[in-house]
C-alpha cells in the first residue's frame, strides 16, 4: 500500500511488528538500514495511516476519549472534544497544518506529529488532573504519536507544552505540511 520504511531506535531494518505499529503495509521489502528516526512519509501517508488506525478503533485510546471523561484516571491526561468518528472525519478533511517532529527520547517511537487546526475556534480537548473527571484547561493542538504497543494514537495537547518539549531538546522539528487548501497536489 505505502512505499515507506520504518526504522527502530537504532536504525536497524524494522521487523513486521515494528512496521505494524504504524499501520503500514510495505509493498516492497526493506533492503537497507539507511532509514533513520523520523521517516520520509508525506502528508498523505500520515493521513492514510491515521485513518486506518481510526477505522480499527485504535486512534483514540480510552483515557483520551470524551465518552470516558466521567471515569477518573490515576494519571494526568487530556481528553479530546471530538468523538473518534469526528476525529477521523477531521483528519480526512485536512483543514489543518501538520508539523512533524522527531522524538529524541529513545524510550519512545520517533514519530511525533502536531496537528494545528486552521479554524482558530476549534478546541481540541482539555487537560484533566489525576482522579478527576473535570476538565481544567483547554488544548489547542492534536498530537499523533506512533506507539510501539498502541500503534498510531492521538491526544489533545497545548501548543505551549509542545514548544517546551522542543526547547528542552525532547523534540526536533523535521518538516511541516500545510493544510489541504494551501498545499500543492504533490503532498
Q: What is the pLDDT of residues 14-28, one digit of tens each?
A: 334 334 444 444 333
- Model confidence at 11: pLDDT above 70: no
Domain regions of the chain by residue span: 37-182
Query: Mind giving me the DSSP string for 120-153?
Result: TT---EEEE-TT--SEEEEE-EEEEEEETTTEEE
Q: What is the spatial distance between Cα 82 and Cα 100, in angstroms, rounded to a whole number?
A: 22
Q: Is 187 helix (H, G, I), strand (E, B) or coil?
A: coil
Q: What is the pLDDT of residues 63-82, one digit of tens each?
A: 999 999 999 999 999 999 99
pTM for this predicted structure: 0.75
Q: What's the farthest any 2 CA atoms get from each other in the chain?
A: 50
Of 141, 133, 136, residue with least CA distance to 65:
133
Percent share of the chain, pLDDT over 90: 62
pLDDT at 110: 87
Q: What is the pLDDT of residues 121-179, one digit of tens each?
A: 888 999 999 999 999 999 999 999 988 788 999 999 999 999 999 999 999 999 999 98
pLDDT band at residue 39 using 50, 70 and 90 as cut-offs: low
Q: Which residue has the higher pLDDT, 110 or 7?
A: 110
Amino acid at each position: 500500500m505505502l512505499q515507506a520504511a520504518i526504522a527502530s531506535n537504532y536504525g536497524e531494518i524494522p521487523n513486521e511488528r515494528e512496521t505494524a505499529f504504524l499501520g503500514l503495509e510495505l509493498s516492497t521489502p526493506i533492503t537497507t538500514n539507511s532509514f533513520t528516526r523520523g521517516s520520509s512519509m508525506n502528508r498523505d501517508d500520515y493521513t492514510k495511516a491515521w485513518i486506518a488506525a481510526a477505522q480499527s478503533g485504535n486512534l483514540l485510546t480510552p483515557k483520551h476519549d470524551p465518552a470516558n471523561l466521567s471515569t477518573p484516571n490515576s494519571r494526568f491526561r487530556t481528553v479530546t472534544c471530538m468523538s473518534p468518528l469526528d476525529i477521523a472525519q477531521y483528519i480526512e478533511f485536512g483543514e489543518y497544518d501538520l508539523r512533524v517532529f522527531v522524538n529524541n527520547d529513545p524510550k519512545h517511537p520517533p514519530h511525533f506529529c502536531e496537528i494545528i487546526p486552521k479554524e482558530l475556534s476549534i478546541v481540541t480537548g482539555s487537560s484533566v488532573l489525576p482522579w478527576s473527571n473535570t476538565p481544567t484547561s483547554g488544548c489547542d493542538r492534536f498530537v499523533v504519536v506512533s506507539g510501539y504497543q498502541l500503534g498510531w494514537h492521538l491526544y489533545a495537547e497545548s501548543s505551549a507544552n509542545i514548544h517546551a518539549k522542543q526547547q528542552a531538546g525532547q523534540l526536533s522539528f523535521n518538516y511541516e505540511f500545510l493544510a489541504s487548501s494551501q498545499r500543492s497536489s504533490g503532498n
